[in-house]
Structure 1
């Protein structure tokens, strides 16, 4: 976690803008819609510039989206190193998402991950070895795998629920969230009962025969005329 009891950001999002930008955007939007304060790694921060170690360690968690193009960016690899440093120093949660890559390939730097690392010939061996170690380490964290669009939607929902249940909240925020959860529970329960009400038309009794109605109407509207009584005789 961040060095202070209340982190400035609840989620720090690290991803490649080339092959994971759409997934990262949807995840970022989903988290923000849930009220989770999220900062994307390539997003400009307060005071100018992008994320540094000082910004990363102010976050409660880091979601690292490892995609095939992730290792082609020295900037992202250095960001991953900083995230793992924050995990070691401050206990920040690290949540990897293996987007269109196999975690085993990330751990052993095979496939596109390994090919990307080989292209960083301008960097010193010590730096590249540090990046390799970071990739191997993040691959050992529990996380999520994504495949097609349907699978990505499921993963985004699972991440939202996971973070919501675990982020630290103040007592006031927790009380408000509990109220919202209770209200949502009873609303769902009420909707369920309304949707399962019996069909009143099927329960209504059948109307009486038409003949009976006609007879009643005849008795009420067409009574048989009665003769008037004779007037009393005059008094003597």
Structure 2
């Protein structure tokens, strides 16, 4: 499987090769970077699922072509919709590209509605309505319509509504879906592991010394 990374692909004048990641994470950094998205990334990485997250804090107005290539080269995309997600033009460009890959490349898209209602994403209400009101004043009509259409489509997809309860439960469910789709088998470790008794005794002696 692909190795995980928090690095963005390096840029060069040569054509950018497609990255081979299992999962591409799309999220609004200030909302979920240090909580849900980080926990999700760490768990997928630990389980051996190659996952890409863009950790670039300062972004320009336009999404980098290298990042678009990374989206195309991913087998899954997880979109973490949060309260301020739609306020970012970068996130919306990234998101629209993901939805295009779903149609054209059969990429599997898994939405997470993080403390927002799925209907708000689908209908562009609440914080999403506020965001689009701003974009309509500053972004060309065609681009805004593209974002709106993609948002409606995503809001109708099955996903996870993270609102109450332990976040670890949702992360475990997401992992299970991806694991099964990738055909990964869980490694069963029995009680009688050859050679472990001596290692355990050695460990106990070190602890007691």
Name the TM-score, length of structure 1 as normaliser. Answer: 0.66
**CA shift for structure 1 position 119:** 1.2
- Given that residues 23 and 152 in structure 1 are in contact (C-alpha distance below 8 angstroms), is that contact kept between their aligned partners in structure 2? yes
Range moving further from structure 2, 70-79 or 121-130 = 121-130
The answer as to 2:183 corresponding to 1:135 is no
Match of 2:8 in 1: none
Listed as ranges, the matches of 1:204-219 within 5 Å are none
Q: In the aligned structure 2, how far is the partner of 1:151 from the partner of 1:50?
A: 37
Deviations 1:132-170 (A, max 9, x none): 11111111111101014x3321101111111111115xx
1:37 aligns with 2:50: yes
- Distance in 2 of aligned mates of 1:154 and 1:94: 19
Q: Deviations over 1:34-86 (max 9, x none)?
A: 11000014459xxxx68522111110100000011000000100101100111
Q: 1:8 corresponds to which residue?
A: 20
Give the count of matched residue pairs: 168
Match among 150, 172, 191 for residue 157 of structure 1: 172
Q: In the alignment, is the contact (CA less than 8 A) between 1:12 and 1:40 conserved in 2?
A: yes
Unaligned runs of 5+ in 2: 1-18, 58-63, 193-209
Higher Rg:
1
Q: Is the 8 A contact 1:11 1:62 kept in 2?
A: yes
Find out whether 1:17 has 2:33 as its counterpart: no
Structure 2 partner of 1:55: 70
- Contact 1:42 / 1:50 at 8 angstroms: preserved in 2? no
Indicate yes or no: 2:56 matched with 1:28: no
Query: Whole-Å Cα distance in 2 between the matches of residues 147 and 158 of structure 1?
Result: 15
Q: 3-state SS of the aligned residue for 1:158?
A: helix
Distance 1:63 1:50 in 2: 19
- Scaled by the length of structure 2, the TM-score of the pair is 0.74
After the TM superposition, which segments of 4 or more aligned residues of structure 1 sit over 6 Å from their partners?
Answer: none
Structure 1: gaps spanning 5 or more residues: 1-6, 169-173, 191-236
> Which of residues 92, 95, 116 is equivalent to 1:101?
116
